[in-house]
Amino acid sequence: MIQQGIMSLPVSNYTEYTEEYSDEQIIEIFLTTCNRSRYTRRNYSRAIDQFREFISFKPLREITWREIEVYKISLEQGFCSKSRKSLAPATVASLIDPLRSLYKWGSDPNIRVFSHNPTTSVHTAKVPITSKNHYLTKRELTQLLNQLRKQGYRDYLLGLTLVLLGLRVSELVSIEWGHFHTDPAETSVWLTVMEGKGGKQREVKVPQTLWNLLCQLPIRSQRLFPLSTRQVERIIQKAREQSKLVKKVTPHWLRHTNATLALLHGASLQQVQETLGHSEITTTQRYLHTVEQMKKAAPDFVEDCLKDIL
């Protein structure tokens, strides 16, 4: 209804009309029209609400770079957390990025609910990429899956689905039975991932062994795993602790493990990119660097050369 009201207005009245919008209405329109998954929209909503509380609900149109800069520094120094601990750069970025998106959208010449974008002068620390080593070896994966099997059939299939399909945890909990389908020749089963990053859909092939196991699950809901993302995280955490794994495994580690093992055993970069749903091939290439290091690094060649004198 709000969007229809905007579209029906003459251009001359547009600016005057948008000024009548409350902050709540602006945020609602933004979250409704932004091309994001429902989990991202939920996180964006929470981040924006936290910022509004920090600024004592000052109108969003009146915000300058100063308020956002002070908010960013407060996050970095821990003033906004109950524990008073400084937040990691990645966490700070996850709380500032929704504000960037909101103001970039709202200051667009075709939308103009904001006269300016106060986030353009705000810079966050570069987030180091630490996930390239977040994978499990075959032995470690076996330990984890064996423990998940002890916890129950559902938990075992949950972990197996994550590692075989390379899904994000939000994608996993969004799977419905109706999202599975066969190819035209009916030779294989595919999953349509509906809640991909950025609201994008993709097709992922389901190995026959996994499909046979999934078909043994009792159908009690439209959803394959009627759980929250937090519940899935707790299931993996419990299995990690019970199996005595040193690595701080999370559900996302199983996604990294999928990419690493696929490349290590002959999958192409494009195949892995399509399975994981990466927009840029450079994101997938991070895993390739890890795999290349596993196969043979420069010191190995030097060792080969000097074996007769070592």
Confirm whether pTM is higher than 0.85.
no
Two tokens, residue 211: 């499909």
If you average pLDDT over residues 105-122, what whole number do you get? 93
CA distance 227 to 232: 7
| pLDDT of the residue at 130 | 58
Residue 129 is predicted with a pLDDT of: 57
Average pLDDT for residues 92-97, to the nearest whole number? Answer: 92
Per-residue pLDDT of 141-150, as tens digits, reads 999 999 999 9
pLDDT value at 20 more than 80:
no
**Contacts (Cβ under 8 Å, ≥6 apart) of 265:** none
Q: Please list the active-site residues.
A: 168, 197, 252, 255, 278, 287
Tokens of 7: 């579209």
pLDDT digits (tens, 9 = 90+) for 197-236: 777 889 999 999 999 999 999 888 899 999 999 999 999 9
User: Are the CB atoms for 240 and 249 separated by under 8 Å?
Assistant: yes
Q: At residue 54, does pLDDT exceed 80? A: yes
- pLDDT for the residue 128: 62
> Cβ distance 97 to 48 under 8 Å?
no
272-303: per-residue pLDDT in tens? Answer: 888 888 877 777 777 766 666 666 667 777 77
